[in-house]
Amino acid sequence: MKLKYKFKKNIDLGSLDAESDKLLISAFVEREDIEIVKNTDNLKSILLGRTGSGKTAIIKYLEKDCDNVVRIEPESLSLRHLSNSTIINYFKELDVKLDLFYKLLWKHVFIVELIKLHFKGDLDNSVRILEWIKNQFKNDKKKEAAINYLETWEEKFWENTEYQVREIESDLEKRFRNAVGISGKIQALTALMTKTTDETEREVIRADVITKAQKVINDSQIEEVNSIFKLIKNDLFKGNQKKYYLLIDDLDRDWVSNTIVYDLIKSLIDSIKDFTSLPNTKIIIALRSNIKKKIFTKNYMRGVQREKYANLYLDLSWSKEDLIELINNRLKVIMREEYTQASPKVDDILPKRIKNYNSSIDFILEKTFMRPRDVIDFFNKCIKNADGKTKFSKSILNEATEEYSHERLKALNDEWLENYGQIYEVYSFLKHESDGFVLEDILDKAGNYIINLLTEEKMSRISGELHIILKEFKDKMDIDDTLKKLLIIFHEIGLIGVKINSEKPVKYFYNTYETFDINDLIKETKFYVHPMFKAALKIT
């Protein structure tokens, strides 16, 4: 029977924002990633990918599909006040490492949630839960620190996170006051350090305060928290067959001040690593690639080894077949909502042939980063232009390409804003370039353009590594070196592909694990603006 359907402007294949995507679960593509994440014996627990790669979709699917799941909303942790904390800011000024303190906060939150999950339905009263644990192990000397921790928190254990964080922070300040011997405000120490005009004496006082502050941080109930962790691991969860999942998403939202957010996320990753030894338990978080870069760029000088976290990452990547299945699933859902019998597939709605392409879907996928958001966006624009039709013509695909290209370029700027500032200020010299240019082709044009960027106003809109590169150019005026560094960043964010030499293929960020440095970019190296952006940048 011939399918009867037509596209209407009021339908689409779902929202680009996973949180509001009505088809997220009903059209979900169950890939191997799901089984990897659900397997509590598998260490991979950090869903890593660019925006729109499916991280939130997996979190929401697990929330629906698994038992014994708790989703921890970053905003509900109420950690925002930490950025205004007198003691935290004082320690930051002294450059005291707060990693252990942040880990203590995360571990406390996880321990509370896991104990609640474990006793869910068994004990109906929070007080009884703690009493039961204490009675079970009160005569065991090895559990003494854990019992002391529970007794300290007995009346506050089930309070909201904000209350508990404030209590831990208050305890930290109290112990620091005792350590340095002051009873008044923390600012009194500043007065003490500036009291003497002797610079050597000031440095001695400062060094002593830093040492005591670091010791207070290092002793912040760490032993007690580690003890309760061991009690859970070796006693409460021993032989337990239930699986427990703690899920965290939305770390890229405005849930805490930028002054501490990257340190908090870094400590979260450290805490997850510690909890991987807990049987039948998994803490799963969604992490954007650009935030990971920001975290480890910030911590690079502190000797942080990225390699030790490598086995925690699940890099989300999509194949052509996965993306076709995604669109087919969504077509099936929306068409059945509109027409009972209709269920067209990708091949039914695209032109049979497009010149220079093996298939129409290849024409579309070439213009994506091989991720769901891009494909859904392109098809939605086709549907809008195909009002009343049953197929997408070549002209419909071309119309969609133009609008899609401009919107994706704006989205690229938004994605990398916190890493580089307004990146469009820097890459705009690529407009109207020929595809497959070499360094020599754009050297003069790029040089003149970059010189015009060196105003105070324009530089204020650029940040991170891009800002450093432009400042170095201002000092040295080495356009060749500067241009290579900029092109490496453009490759990293997905703006261009790189063909190192005539024997190598063009490589975009999502189909290579190679990293380039300026020595790799030689005279014959060619650069190609990604097809996603060609229309917006008017590439010839």
pLDDT at residue number 125: 57
Buried b (16+ CB within 10 A) or exposed e, 506-537: bbbbbeeeeebeeeebeeebbbbbbbbbbbbb
SS3 readout for 383-419: HHHCCCCCCCCHHHHHHHHHHHHHHHHHHHHHHCHHH
Q: Which residues contact 529 (CB under 8 A, 6 or more apart)?
A: 430, 433, 435, 495, 496, 537, 539
Q: How confident is the model at residue 93 (pLDDT cuts 50, 70, 90)?
A: confident
Instruction: Tell me which DSSP letter residue 434 carries.
Output: P
Calculate mean pLDDT across residues 97-116.
Answer: 88
For residues 131-146, average pLDDT: 77
Query: What pTM did the predictor assign?
Result: 0.89
Q: Which residue, among 153, 55, 47, 63, has the nearest Cα to 109 in the 3D structure? A: 153
Least confident of 167-176, 402-411, 445-454: 167-176
- E strands, 320-465, in order: none
When pLDDT is cut at 50, 70 and 90, the band that residue 301 belongs to is: very low
Whether residue 227 contacts residue 145, with contact meaning beta carbons closer than 8 Å, is answered with yes
In this structure, are residues 259 and 88 in contact, taking their beta carbons and an 8 Å threshold?
no
User: pLDDT by residue (tens digit) across 187-216?
Assistant: 666 665 666 667 787 788 788 888 888 888
What digits encode the pLDDT tens for the residues 210-247?
888 888 888 767 778 888 888 888 888 887 788 999 99
DSSP 234: I
**Bridge partners of 217?**
none
3-state secondary structure of 279: coil
Do residues 326 and 24 touch, judged by C-beta distance below 8 A? no
